[in-house]
Structure 1
Amino acid sequence: MTTRRTGLREQKKQATREALSAAALRLALERGPDNVRVDDIAEAVGVSSRTYNNYFSSREQAIVAAVNSEREARIAAAVADRPDSVGLAAAVIEAIVDQYTAPGVPSREALLLITARPALREAFVDTTSAIEHPLTDAIARRLGDIDPNTARVLAASVAAAVRVAVEQWLRTTAASFTAGGLVVPSGSLPDLLRTMLAPLAPALDAAEQRARQERCRVTTPDGSK
């Protein structure tokens, strides 16, 4: 019963977080983010401002949370779901590119909102750090019982590369503002992500190769096959 209550409590918390972030984005699109207060977001969901502050530290954080929609968990799950026949580097890079370039995420309206305001751009870029911990776990599962710091360093490096790519993408997108609206260069984000992650591919694959060698050594300590 305790486990079930804990599970229901976590589901309720997640539902509240999603409702708050959705309300924040909706109100920001309707009124402009400068005209949205924390009290407005909380009222739209039917909770107190104190409850809101348990989930988000700013309205910008709530707005970009709606756009990200738990992307970091999906990236980690995608890496874990890749078959062993797919190398670690390919698994990580493809998972990130897939999740950052899913059709309609973010929507054109949300992207316009984010790129138009420095505070929202900064908050959006900051969300890349959330990749690190779930990705650490996913990489560690792929590598097995080797030095756990290896998985953490690799995941932190991946998160840093994604941050650089997203920063550059947002700068390019913001610079494309014209009197007629916003033009987003097609394919620019996938290209940037692959370019920034490419230098990490040898390290990811080398770590996986070492892990395989270590497992073989433990399985056959006399070197036999």
Structure 2
Amino acid sequence: MTGEVGLRERKKAATRAALSAAANRLAVELGVEHVTVEAIAAAADVSPRTFHNYFSSREEAIVASIIDWADRLTDELERRPADEPIWDSLQDVYLATLDDSADARARMVAQIQMVMANPTVIANQLAAFDAMRRRFAAAIAARTGTDASRDLYPHLIAGAAAQAVKTSMDLWAAGQTDRPLRELVADGFAQLRAGLPQPGRQTGRPAS
């Protein structure tokens, strides 16, 4: 019975991922306003009814990969050694999922352009990122003996880490730097861990 349940859950996850990938691809290729639930379902080789078993709208399907990414990251975070410093755990978990390739950069640019052109998708993306932050905060609270329902610490750490990654991705995708994405993210984490010292002030000298 356990094997059957596991297989059923894997099939459901695969269908959800196929629908999300199809929704995202069509939105990038055609523009969100030209994408229908029927087209997404057809691209994933399922019925529109099946689509509605997983998502309430095309916009939700388009950003579902963020939620799924958050689930994978949280699962990995929860598997890290309990005595490992939380910043080490977060950095390793994030870096393991990042792709520095030129193809990945092109996909990210297209994704950002698609999202920014549609306010409804932006709203769904913000909601997805907020859900991701709350999941991370709960995992961080469990690791650090804090309470996510009342303590600032796990939320601040989760939010700061996510912002370091997002800011690095934005700069990298925009071509504002030739540094690899993983290097940018690692630098962002290092600056946060150091307390974000003002550039040029570490040794007491004014910035040049």
Fold agreement, TM-score > 0.5: yes
Superposition deviation, residue 92 in structure 1: 2.2
Look up the match of 2:69: 71
TM-score w.r.t. the length of structure 2 is 0.65
**Which has the larger helix fraction?**
1
**Rounded Cα–Cα distance in structure 2 between residues aligned with 1:83 and 1:91:** 8
Look up the match of 1:8: 7
Which region of structure 1 is more displaced relative to structure 2, 34-43 or 6-15? 6-15
Look up the match of 2:94: 96
The gaps in structure 1 that reach 5 residues or longer are 177-182, 202-225
The gaps in structure 2 that reach 5 residues or longer are 197-208
**Rounded Cα–Cα distance in structure 2 between residues aligned with 1:8 and 1:152:** 38
**Rounded Cα–Cα distance in structure 1 between residues aligned with 2:27 and 2:75:** 30
Q: How does 1:43-62 map to 2 (within 5 A)?
A: 43-62=42-61
Superposition deviation, residue 22 in structure 1: 1.6
Look up the match of 2:129: 128
Q: Secondary structure at the match of 1:102?
A: coil
Is residue 201 of structure 2 the alignment partner of residue 190 of structure 1? no
**Rounded Cα–Cα distance in structure 1 between residues aligned with 2:103 and 2:131:** 17
- Taking a change above 3 Å as real, the CA distance of residues 20 and 91 of structure 1, as seen in their structure-2 partners, is same
- Taking a change above 3 Å as real, the CA distance of residues 134 and 149 of structure 1, as seen in their structure-2 partners, is closer
Is residue 134 of structure 2 the alignment partner of residue 139 of structure 1? no
Q: Secondary structure at the match of 1:19?
A: helix
Report % sequence identity. 31
Look up the match of 2:160: 161
Instruction: Render the CA deviation track for 1:16-58: whole Å, top value 9, x for unaligned.
Output: 1011012122323433333221220012223333432332343
How many residue pairs get aligned? The number is 189
Counterpart residue identity of residue 56, structure 1:
F
Contact 2:140 2:158 in 1 (8 A): no
